[in-house]
Chains A and B, each alone.
Chain A
């Protein structure tokens, strides 16, 4: 028994039809920071590593201390208890501190992943998490190119914890004022203004101004200006110590959701394709069953 050439063609046509979406995937429109966007600028050349911001973050977000050695609080990485961290880098090219927390992407992968919009850009473009719509699937963690959202692995009722720029306590829904004084706890306490808070556009200009004024002091690169479509947290680093050494990943300028979401919205544009395919398939099923009925064959599952 041979499969007809027509049958083989149908197989090929079926494949081609489903692949058409992949081929035509339109470029997704580039997102801009919202008009009221605020952010943070961290200047590694000004940070003295006092970790006042780490303690302030804990207090503001009611996060437990982490002790890994005999020190009273020495987190080694971001975790469900640590939404903000200062790390120390030492290499042949010198030493530096680096602050890590949520980058508050302009086109956040976590928000694109999140099925019921638990993660969303909310007030001031700040990405926050709402517990009442989170089922704990952790797709946000898979999606985030900075590995920022942290899961409470040791809890039977886990929350997702990350920096919410003190708009809301990490891991809670209490959304409100920015930390009473109108700025995040970490920028408020920084004694050297190594990390500052402000309107996003002003921070961008400030970062570029610092590089222009002191080209010998800084690498000629504002991290977060272009990375994954831009982030509302910006970084400056000392000349000779590129960001990749400080643990900030080398990323392209395309937002992470561009490929899958572009693909999805092309294939499912207006939900026309699934409905059309359903109509065609229903017709084919009807035809095939009528033929079986005529042939006296039993129908059913």
Chain B
């Protein structure tokens, strides 16, 4: 085996590490809790009300979770739309993170739905589709994109099965499907770029239907644009964080310089975002709201800060490589947090059904289920990168954790 930088290899090593055990434990407990949820309904276990019908599971698991899983989208944009082939070594882990993140989002939806047993009708009963419903587009897009992501991941599994001489059926299956998949791949990749562009922006349009219940600083026709641009920043940020994590934990020395090379582009993206956000509020004559001493003004400026600060940090002249990485780490963390804040604010903090409704805060049950879902995602990620060729870079014999 040659260990070129560009060629992904499995991490190997023991599966049942302490981290894995904790993750599986959390996931199992949350799975048991979910049985209870489906027996008693949503009321007894959540803090959701008729005033706040959407809570943590929608705001985080679905709206934020899928945006955090936009690494695959961000990198695919770079490689294929902006023709930067050098980012290819990052694509597999990015797509895997996306596939897992979207799967988590989809599970989150099912948990939150009141009548999930009818969900199967949604993709099939096309004659009932209400084309006015922004959520319909989001739901169908997310279903389709989750499938596309796993098909995009398929070569990883097929590659391994092809070499398994002990399982001839699996091997034959892999040999038969690999060439077909390779032919279809460009069309799938294009779908994998168009679908997130559609639903990540539509997630912004979707909450606009709250109309007067949404604070004016977020009730703007540009919200889909802010959602779309920020999901690209979040995807990039997540790829950076994930790359740094695999470098630290698994000694996978992947090129941070190619990530650094993205900085100018990210500066443009972030500044466009901040500029558009401010101009839009000014043009709509809503800037007054940003200077009222209330939580909405604070949330608004915090959001601006979390998009502006990383732009400034990334514009600063790089000095030594170590400090460089710190700079990239902080900027990425801020971008991701900023995008999360935008989503939490528009789906939760800035949504107000009226004064007589209490503010919503998730119940421990809701929080624990979400933690369990994330733990399951982490466990699946760890298992797959250990068993399958996902991560590029120089592997190391030493395996901490």
Contact = CB atoms under 8 A, between A and B. Distances in A.
A274 B198 contact: yes
B205 A260 contact: yes
B331 to A, nearest CB: 15
Interface stretch (A42-50, A114-122, A167-175, A205-213): A114-122
A143 B85 contact: no
B322 interface: no
A2 interface: yes
B40 A25 contact: no
A261 B187 CA distance: 29
A260 B6 contact: no
Given A133-B121, A153-B41, A260-B209, A301 B153 contact: yes
A152 B49 CA distance: 10
Contact of A135 (B85, B122, B152, B154): B122
B315 to A, nearest CB: 13
Contacts of B241: none
B80 to A, nearest CB: 4
A241 interface: no
Contact of A18 (B44, B159, B225): B225
A226 to B, nearest CB: 14
Given A251-B212, A297-B88, A281 B193 contact: yes
In which size bucket is the chain A interface?
35 or more
A301 to B, nearest CB: 4
B265 interface: yes
Contact of B208 (A2, A158, A263): A263
Contact of B118 (A1, A135, A278): A135
Contact of A116 (B128, B221, B225, B228): B128
A21 B131 CA distance: 17
Contact of B261 (A1, A19, A147): A1
Interface in B125-154: 125, 128-137, 139, 152-154
B245 interface: no
Interface in A142-162: 142-143, 145, 147, 149-158
Given A147-B51, A151-B50, A300 B118 contact: no
A281 B153 CA distance: 20
B43 A287 contact: no
A281 B81 contact: yes
B85 A115 contact: no
B41 A152 contact: yes
Given A11-B269, A153-B42, A285-B190, A113 B88 contact: no
Interface string B21-43: 00000000000000000111111
Given A145-B213, A268-B137, A115 B194 contact: no
A80 B211 CA distance: 23
A260 B219 CA distance: 10
A263 B118 CA distance: 29
B41 A11 contact: no
Interface string B95-119: 1000000000000010011111011
Given A19-B276, A158-B41, A278-B194, A116 B208 contact: no
A288 B84 CA distance: 8
Nearest to A139: B135
A141 B198 CA distance: 24
Contact of B272 (A15, A287, A297): A15
Interface in A250-301: 251-252, 256-257, 259-261, 263-265, 267-268, 274, 277-278, 281-282, 284-289, 291-292, 295, 297-301
B185 interface: yes
A156 B276 contact: no
B210 interface: yes
A116 B122 contact: yes
B13 interface: no
13 contacts: A3-B265, A7-B84, A115-B129, A117-B129, A133-B121, A142-B209, A145-B211, A147-B354, A156-B39, A158-B42, A265-B131, A265-B132, A289-B80
Interface of A: 1-3, 7-8, 10-12, 14-15, 18-19, 21-23, 25, 78-80, 109, 111-117, 131-139, 141-143, 145, 147, 149-158, 228, 249, 251-252, 256-257, 259-261, 263-265, 267-268, 274, 277-278, 281-282, 284-289, 291-292, 295, 297-301
